[in-house]
Structure 1
Amino acid sequence: MTKILFVCHGNICRSPMAEFVMNDLLQRAGLSGCAQVASAAVSAEELGNPVYPPARRKLAEHGIRCDGKTARLLQAADYQTYDLLIGMDRRNLEAMRRICGSDPDHKLCLLLDFTAQPRDVADPWYTRDFEQTWLDITAGCTALLQTCFSAQTGPL
């Protein structure tokens, strides 16, 4: 089973969106049992808070629920627990390296590095553009699914 941890600044917008989008894609592909997906923050400021309402609404527009999710902090031990730790932007990636200590197993990466257009997923907390965040996260998770799981189902 592949263990994936999505990471963003506060774990209330981008990383929980990625967590629930990835779980939805896995379920639709019949691969739910092939992965464990979670999300975390590099900052403690939102710990315990639920998914930010505009992010929750964007997921709901696509039939995806995120009930019960609350922000949690990335821990150094997560490096050993997860196979992939996927940040949303370069600042997250820097913080992930600092928290994890290093990356000897090359587990740390950015979500959109799996796509043909690698770049940061902009933070909708600041941009207010939850539609663009949805599009970026969906593209990244789809590419991640194809990269990591296509051998189990054939072309996706």
Structure 2
Amino acid sequence: MTNILFICHGNICRSTMAEFVMKDIVKKAGMEKDFYIQYRATHRDELGSDTYWGTKDKLDKEGIPYTKRKATLMTKEDYDKYDYILGMDDENMRYIAKIIGSDPYHKVYMLMDFAGEHRSIADPWYTGNFDATFDDVMGGCQGLFQHITK
């Protein structure tokens, strides 16, 4: 089983979008039982909140199912539980490092690394551009899936 953890600031926009996009990719590949996919926040701002309405709206438009969930905070123990820990931007990466300390097993990446670009995914909470965020998340998730299954 491959365990994947998506991380963003508040765990209501990008990490949840990535969670549901990745779950859809593995389901369509018939590999649901081979993956465990979760999400976390680096900050407490939105703990307990459900997925942001803009993310839900974009997922609806793309035909990607989602479920009700609650934002949760990343912990140091998550490092031992997951094979891939994926941040969305440079700030996330700094906070992930503060939470886990070192990364001796090289589990921590920016999601866009798997799309062939080492860069941030813009936070649609601030930009309002859920289309651009979705395109980046989809590219990163597709690349991650290809990396894992090759």
Return the TM-score normalized by structure 1: 0.94
1:81 alignment partner AA = K
Question: How far apart are 1:120 and its partner, in Å?
Answer: 0.5
Aligned residues: 150
Q: Cα deviations across residues 1-37 of structure 1 (Å, max 9, x unaligned)? A: 0000000000000000000000000011111111100
What is the distance in 1 between the residues matched to 2:13 and 2:44?
Answer: 14
Aligned with 1:36: secondary structure?
Answer: strand
Q: Cα deviations across residues 40-88 of structure 1 (Å, max 9, x unaligned)? A: 0000110000000011110111122322211000011000011111000
What is the distance in 1 between the residues matched to 2:82 and 2:118?
Answer: 22
What is the distance in 1 between the residues matched to 2:117 and 2:47?
Answer: 31
Partner of 1:131: 131
Partner of 1:96: 96
Extract structure 1 runs of 4+ deviating beyond 3 A: none
CA-based RMSD of the aligned residues comes to 0.8
Aligned residues of 2:88 and 2:120 also touching (Cα < 8 A): yes
Aligned residues of 1:10 and 1:44 also touching (Cα < 8 A): yes
Partner of 2:107: 107
Aligned with 1:19: secondary structure?
Answer: helix
What is the distance in 1 between the residues matched to 2:67 and 2:24?
Answer: 14
Q: Cα deviations across residues 104-141 of structure 1 (Å, max 9, x unaligned)? A: 11111100001122211010011110000000000000
What is the distance in 2 between the residues matched to 1:126 and 1:61?
Answer: 20
Aligned residues of 1:51 and 1:66 also touching (Cα < 8 A): no
Aligned with 1:133: secondary structure?
Answer: helix
2:146 alignment partner AA = Q
What is the distance in 1 between the residues matched to 2:6 and 2:116?
Answer: 19
Partner of 2:4: 4
Aligned residues of 1:9 and 1:41 also touching (Cα < 8 A): yes
- The alignment-based identity, stated in percent, is 43
Q: Does 1:83 align with 2:103?
A: no
Partner of 1:154: none
Aligned with 2:58: secondary structure?
Answer: helix
Partner of 2:21: 21
* Unaligned ranges ≥5, structure 2: none
Partner of 2:39: 39
1:137 alignment partner AA = V
Return the TM-score normalized by structure 2: 0.97
